[in-house]
Homo-oligomer: A and B are copies of this chain.
Amino acid sequence: MPYVLIQVTREGVTRAQKQALIEGATALLVDVLGKDPSTTFVVIDEVDTDNWGVAGRSVTALRAAAAGGSHD
């Protein structure tokens, strides 16, 4: 009866990619722990880049810095 939460930034994840994440995570629980797929939940949570921080900066700011060659 596993529950898997996959949290990623909201940056154009397609329906096909979501389906691949659901299939892959379910297969992982079946293969490693022998879980029943019919009671394996996978929830994908897409988070706006303004709302995700790494190293003290939002992903929005990190993406802009990377695109602009910023050194700060």
Give chain A's interface residues, CB within 8 Å of chain B.
1-9, 13, 15, 17-29, 31-33, 35, 37-47, 50-61
Contacts and interface: CB of A to CB of B under 8 A. Distances in A.
B52 A37 contact: no
16 contacts: A1-B52, A1-B59, A3-B7, A4-B5, A4-B6, A5-B5, A13-B33, A19-B57, A19-B58, A23-B56, A28-B28, A38-B55, A40-B53, A42-B54, A43-B47, A44-B52
Copies in the complex: 6
A37 B9 CA distance: 15
Contacts of A38: 54-55
A9 B18 contact: no
